[in-house]
Structure 1
Amino acid sequence: QTHGATLYMVLLAGWSALLSRLSGQGEVVIGSPVANRPRVELEGLIGFFVNTLALRTRVENSTTVAALLADIRETTLAAHEHQDLPFDRVVDAVQPSRTLGHAPIFQTLLVLDNTTDKPAAALPGMRVEALSIPHATTQFDISLSLTETQDGLSGAIEYASDLFDADTVARWSQWLERLLDGMAQSPDATVSSLALLDEDERSQLLQASAGSSTEQSPQTLVDLFESQVARTPDTVALRSGEAQLSYAQLEAA
């Protein structure tokens, strides 16, 4: 444990920080499933009690790693105290804008399976084994699923292929590892100062930036306007109330 945070809280901090850096947003909401068996008496009971929590985290430029962990610890503990509140009730209370394009409240998920002791079912005269069920669709834009094993963590990132490609997500997974390592090494540093790129990536970025600079002849505002007129003469350039002018009409005025 670090700063009173569990492994789950540290992973949530890293995932939140990465999503904040990628999106440029100072606040992220991440969904997370819970077993919803807070009492010992319920642990062996047959049934599907799983619920989903919506965990809101603020990651500002001045937020330190220690402060982020403290905030996430408080948020997570408070959320687990009310884990029996159905997620549908939360949606009804918040009343977010609904669309078929994405899930309400949050569009990203974090799952940590830390139930390492999973004895195989034993039935007389039968052999029982678990089978993975393949699926080709995802409920969320991007989801991080991890399993805690004796050898460490293993897992996968599931993503909407309409939004991201495999190379991008693979690169993000490396950035997440680098971010978590930086958090462990520098708990007093600001989250925004932790490096995502390695030396090769940084060198490639600098070379690409240097190679993209080309000398251009200076252009006046009139030159730029005339170029736009030539490209899109019929596009609306000026609108006032119900009146509007295209670029060609504005040039002729």
Structure 2
Amino acid sequence: MRSTWPPRTRDRGTSCVALTRVGCLSSSPSTPTTRLPRARHAGAPSPSSTTAPRRCGPTRTSFAVDHWLREIGPPVEPLHWPFEERRLPAFPHQGDTWEIRLPADVDALVHEFANTARATPFAVLMAAYAVLIGEVCRTDTPVIGGGLRNRRLPGIDRTVGMFVNQCAFSYEDWRSRTFAELAQSTTSRLAAAMDHQEVPFPLVTQHLTLSRDRSRNPVFQTCISMNDWPDTQLDYGPGMTVDVSFPSNGGAKFDLDIIVLPEPGGTRMLWRYSTPLFTAADAEDLVSRYLALVTDLVAAPHALLGARTEQVAS
């Protein structure tokens, strides 16, 4: 049977306008846009030179949307957590944060494995998180959300504000791969995502056939991203040092939202969870399971993940 995925996108003038408004492309050949080197999202490698300017047009827009349709894959069942009975009929947008710092030995293992596997440390953490979600929610097709900086327009990098675009990646083949392969492919996918980071997520979702449910996000229910702040310790002179903290604001955008913060003293992770779906004890349990999982995966990176999952289940 011939595959019908991804669906063919139609050239729409509104798509071109939307991309121009967020500073993706030049709307006129007489006013070319010189793009900045790619932003350091997810530890993706930076190219040695800038990308040549490109004009905005329906063809380019359709190509970018098609890229994300392939990344998301066909619609799948939403995640079902072990404590799904606590889910409210309407998503409450309330939550809390469980903050950790990766133990020094785990952080060292991640960086060492990333170097040998030709992956980035964040890609290693993201691939391990996809495995965690697959095991905990017992799904063959976890879809993991993310965020892209969308700051490549010259001069915008110093502008205060959020220009982040959502994105999503399907891990439908994770059981049939090794962790080394999963980390490498995640690195490549994140690098490719940088070339399509200006695409507003609504332009992608309008081509998806989604089952709407007020209790959850229709495309993905969990998200992991990296905030590469220049520094979280500010030096104001002798005797005055300020640490940047990330307290919970009492809100939640998704069931579970992970933020990775690389710092000089190690890697900090914020696990922001929706309440009452999750409790603090649930978050602590998931964090402990994740740390143990990362250690196991980097210790045996060439074992099939499906076989590992079967051993854990038994």
- Counterpart of 2:178 in structure 1 is 64
Question: How many residue pairs end up in the alignment?
Answer: 195
* Structure 2 residue 289 is matched with structure 1 residue 175: yes
* Among 42, 54, 58, the residue aligned to 2:168: 54
Aligned equivalents of 2:274, 2:146: Cα separation in 1: 18
Q: Take 1:137 and 1:43, find their aligned partners in 2: how far apart are those partners?
A: 27
CA contact (8 A) 2:233 2:243 kept: no
Q: Which residue of structure 1 lines up, in the alignment, with residue 301 of structure 2?
A: 187
- Cα distance in 1 for partners of 2:160, 2:275 equals 36
Change in CA separation of 1:132 and 1:151 when aligned onto 2, cut-off 3 Å = closer
Matched residue, 1:26: 140
In the alignment, the residues of structure 2 paired with residue 29 and residue 59 of structure 1 have an alpha-carbon distance, to the nearest angstrom, of: 11
Letter in structure 2 aligned against 1:56? S
Q: Tell me how far apart the structure 1 counterparts of residues 289 and 173 of structure 2 sit (CA, whole Å).
A: 17
- Superposed CA deviations along residues 173-226 of structure 1, whole A, max 9, x for unmatched, are 11111111122222212224558x9xxxx9xx99xxxxxxxxxxxxxxxxxxxx
Q: Are the structure 2 counterparts of residues 178 and 134 from structure 1 closer, same or farther at C-alpha, using a change threshold of 3 Å?
A: closer
> What secondary structure, in the 3-state scheme, does the structure 2 residue paired with 1:172 have?
helix
Number of the residue aligned with 1:116: 230
Distance 2:125 2:253 in 1: 21
Q: Find the counterpart in structure 2 of residue 152 from structure 1.
A: 266
Specify the SS of the correspondent of 1:61.
Answer: helix
Determine if contact 1:35/1:50 at 8 Å carries over to the other structure: yes
Distance 1:48 1:135, change over 3 A: closer
Task: Compare relative contact order (CA 8 Å, sep 6+) and give the higher one, 1 or 2.
Answer: 2
Q: TM-score, normalised by structure 2?
A: 0.54
Deviations 1:5-60 (A, max 9, x none): 11121111011000001111111111111111235654224443211111222344
TM-aligned CA deviation for residue 113 of structure 1: 1.6
Structure-1 separation of matches of 2:244 and 2:134: 36
Looking at structure 2, the residues matched to 60 and 91 of structure 1 have their Cα atoms a distance apart, in angstroms, of 24
Cα distance in structure 2, aligned partners of 1:168 and 1:17:
18
- Equivalent in the alignment of 2:215: 101
1:66 and 1:120, CA in 2 relative to 1: closer, same or farther beyond 3 A?
A: closer
Identity of aligned residues (%): 23
5+ residue gaps, structure 2, are 1-113, 237-241
Which 10-residue stretch deviates more, 110-119 or 91-100?
A: 110-119
Deviation string 1:134-169 (CA, Å, 9 cap, x unpaired) is 432312111112211112111221222232322222
Helix, strand or coil for the counterpart of 1:96? coil
**Tell me, what secondary structure is at the counterpart of 1:146?**
strand
* Structure index of larger Rg: 1
Of 189, 195, 198, the match for 1:84? 198
Instruction: Measure the CA separation in 1 of the matches of 2:263 and 2:118.
Output: 22
RMSD after superposition: 3.1
2 CA distance for matches of 1:45 and 1:121?
A: 22
Deviation track 1:43-93 (CA, whole Å, cap 9, x = no partner) reads: 224443211111222344332111212322232222221110001111112
